[in-house]
Amino acid sequence: MSFDFLIDYYPLLIEGTVITVLLALLTVLFGTLIGVFVSLIKFYDHHIVGKVLNKVANGYVAFFRGTPLMIQLYLLYYGLPQLGVQYPSIPGISTAFLVGVLTLSINSGAYVSEIFRAGIQAVDAGQMEAGRSLGLNQYQTLKHIILPQAIKNILPALGNEFIVIIKESAIVSIIGLSDLMYMSDVIRMATFNPFGVLIVVAFIYFILTTGLAKLLKILEGRLNQHA
């Protein structure tokens, strides 16, 4: 095992790491937005439209939590174009990157919605009644009273989901996105040094996930100080 390949191939590792981090950041952003939206839908089922949306939300969560991420990625990358769906052409952004962000965000949103749902349910039911007594409707009460309290409760679970996103993002290499895992394949085939390359790549992923865990721990501590 040798690490001499780093001299010639470190730019590829840096490029792959940047793509991985960017992919993870966008997934966290859109996945969280989707998750919050879906979790709120699940608490709004007092009218016909609300009940229908609730069923759709439950079906979405069940499907994306109950099927492999790889299949979801293949369905969006290979399946939808066969049905006539054309992804927009954005300068500087490949279709693989676009589909990678879309798939990971939709998948993460299903898990995040359940995290938020559990966090909202953990808040004292009297808080909802207090909000309604102040003249707020259900949505306003959730937004201004319930969610701020729920976020403190769910931060550890939400942080774990963000860490999972970094690790699971490696799967997008199978559709040709030049992330860290894809670049490791390129280097392995060029150097015939699979073990050394994978050790370095594993260490980079470890640094990314450990660093994120430390940041989330600091954020959690500060939130607790202001609680």
Rounded to two decimals, the pTM is: 0.91
**Cα–Cα dist 21/19, whole Å:** 6
Hey, where are the domains in the chain?
5-225
Whether the Cβ atoms of residue 76 and residue 67 lie closer than 8 Å to each other:
no
What pLDDT is stored for residue 41 in this prediction? 87
What pLDDT is stored for residue 1 in this prediction? 73
What pLDDT is stored for residue 135 in this prediction? 81
Q: Residues near 37 by Cβ (< 8 Å), separated by ≥ 6? A: 113
What pLDDT is stored for residue 226 in this prediction? 65
**Cα–Cα dist 127/143, whole Å:** 12
Q: What is the CA angle 216-214-103, rounded to 5?
A: 55
Q: Residues near 87 by Cβ (< 8 Å), separated by ≥ 6? A: 80, 81, 95, 98, 99
Look at residue 90 and give its three-state secondary structure.
strand
What pLDDT is stored for residue 129 in this prediction? 79
**Cα–Cα dist 13/186, whole Å:** 10
* Homologous superfamily in CATH for domain 5-225: MetI-like (1.10.3720.10)
Q: Residues near 28 by Cβ (< 8 Å), separated by ≥ 6? A: 108, 162, 165
SS3 sequence of 147-207: HHHHHHHHHHHHHHHHHHHHHHHHHHHHHCCCCHHHHHHHHHHHHCCHHHHHHHHHHHHHH
Q: How many C-beta atoms surround the C-beta of residue 131 within 10 A?
A: 19
Q: What is the CA angle 192-13-195, rounded to 5?
A: 35
- Output the CA torsion sign for 204, 94, 173, 69: positive
Whether the Cβ atoms of residue 157 and residue 115 lie closer than 8 Å to each other:
yes
Predicted confidence pLDDT, tens digits, the chain (227 residues): 789 999 999 999 999 999 999 999 999 999 999 999 998 888 776 678 878 999 999 999 999 999 999 999 999 999 999 999 999 999 999 999 999 999 999 999 999 999 999 988 888 878 777 887 888 877 788 777 888 888 888 988 999 999 999 999 999 999 999 999 999 999 999 999 999 999 999 999 999 999 999 998 998 888 777 65
